[in-house]
Amino acid sequence: MLVTLLIFLVLLAFIFLGFPIFMALLITGIIFIVAGGNSLDLTIIKMFGSVNSLSLLAIPFFVTAGNIIMRAKITDKLVNFANAAVGFLPGGLGHVNVLTSMIFGGIQGSGCADAAAIGGMLIPAMEKQGYDKDYAVAVTAGSSMLSPIIPPSIAMILYAYYTEVPIGRMFMGGLVPGIIIGLMQMGVVYMEYRLRHYDIPRTKFSILNLLRTGWHSLGALLMPLIILSGICFGIVTPTESGVLAIVYGLFYGFVITKSLKWRDIPSILVESAITTAVVYMTIAGAGVLSNVLVRLHFQSEVENFAINVLGNPVAVVIFLCIVFVILGMFLDPTVIIAMFAATVLSIGNAFGFDPIHFGVIMVIVMQLGAITPPVGTFLFISCGVAHLPMEKSIKPLLPYIATVLIAMVLAFIFPGIVTWLPNLIYG
């Protein structure tokens, strides 16, 4: 156990020294592989084996689709529609931010893309209207959590890859919890608006304006419906749905909005390749370090502690939540999923949980790390857009974190929140 503690201390030391996450994982793994008397060849084997999967092809597809979406001005259409639909409510652009994230999550599945694209548009707009920076950042970072939960989700793809549970069921299992979190976050936006005594002009609601905006945004709004329908009815696999998103995004950008140009394609591919490389290197680094921990029986010890010492489903869920929230303060959700997904599945099976039910809840909890300092990627991106120190965003972000925890508790008490839709679609 002391060796395991030393591993995590070394890993944290590299992170705080400013090393990229994938480098910190890889260097830590190599140090302890060599210290354990193993060949460096093992590093290469584990790195390649961690990313050598057809299922993971969905990641570059959805990353590319996300970049096409931003260039094709689909995000603009979504924001316009959301503004017409909910911009009149007290909270104005805060509600628009949350609803846009819910729709955007149904297209590309990346919280980072959500925080960058929607935050890049709405944080400056919210500041211009008179909203405080910390309020705008909290809404953006909190609602960016919806993209890894609402299908298609890159986080769900990773979890399904490591546990071999059906990706389609994981996708559908995240839809209802994602909508619940979104609605609760809109409630938080309303309360914060009142508590801060804002009196900011809002969009006037008009059925005619909603219908007109909906018609002009129809091509963008159809995109998530096409992707999810294709998966639900078995027309495409979740991996193929990423290709479908790319094809539709290209069609929309070249034919409908005509905002996409051929000269944009090289830069889109380069940006997508860089993002994909970072994700894949993180997975590869996590695979190396995870192998070291497996040799030390760390995952087995966690599993034995949960089953034999705690021995109670409620205590186990609370224990895992605490562990993942603490780890999430320092590690990217991708790393946590790579290192603990199989262990989580085993613990869930031992207590008789439905694999999809337990998996979706744990993926949601693992995502909390993305909006918690000091290494929260969604929070970091949102603060970067607003030029706001991260520590100033923590307090206003707490209610949004609470919505995620409440949704997790509800899903645990009422499993049908997660399992109803997958069972309805897949039987």
Reading the chain (427 residues) residue by residue, the pLDDT tens digits are 678 888 888 988 888 888 888 888 899 989 988 888 878 788 888 888 888 877 788 888 888 888 888 788 788 888 888 988 898 899 889 999 999 999 888 887 788 888 888 888 888 988 888 889 999 999 999 999 998 899 888 888 889 988 989 888 998 999 999 999 999 999 999 999 999 988 888 888 889 988 999 888 888 888 888 888 887 777 888 788 888 888 988 988 898 888 888 899 999 999 889 888 888 888 888 888 888 888 888 878 888 888 888 888 889 888 888 888 888 888 888 888 888 888 888 899 888 899 999 999 999 998 888 888 777 788 888 888 888 888 888 889 999 999 999 999 999 999 999 999 999 988 7
Write out the two tokens for 359.
């998996």
Write out the two tokens for 413.
């008490």
Torsion (CA) 181, 182, 183, 189 in degrees, nearest 10: 110
CA separation for the pair 3, 8 (Å, rounded)? 9
Write out the two tokens for 57.
């092809």
Q: Give Dmax over CA atoms of the chain in angstroms.
A: 71
pLDDT at 259: 85
pLDDT at 403: 94
Q: In sequence order, what are the residues at sequence separation of 6 or more whose Cβ sits closer than 8 angstroms to the Cβ of residue 422?
A: 168, 169, 172, 173, 356
CB environment 234-273: b (16+ within 10 A), e (fewer): eebbbbebbbbbbebbbebbbebbeebeeebeeebeebbe
pLDDT at 418: 94
Written as one string, the DSSP assignment of 21-78 is HHHHHHHHHHHHHHHTT--THHHHHHHHHHH--SGGGHHHHHHHHHHHHHHTTHHHHH
Query: How far does Cα 145 stand from its chain's mean position?
Result: 5
pLDDT tens string 105-147? 888 778 888 888 888 888 898 888 888 999 999 999 999 999 8
Cα radius of gyration rounded to whole Å, the chain:
21
CA separation for the pair 252, 273 (Å, rounded)? 22
Handedness of CA 304, 376, 417, 420 (dihedral sign): negative
CA separation for the pair 246, 137 (Å, rounded)? 29
Q: Three-class SS string for 123-192?
A: HHHHHHHCCCHHHHHHHHHHHHHHCCCCCCCHHHHHHHHHHCCCHHHHHHHHHHHHHHHHHHHHHHHHHH
Contact assessment for residue 407 and residue 180, using Cβ atoms and an 8 Å cutoff: yes
Write out the two tokens for 53.
């999967």
For residue 88, give the amino acid letter.
Answer: F
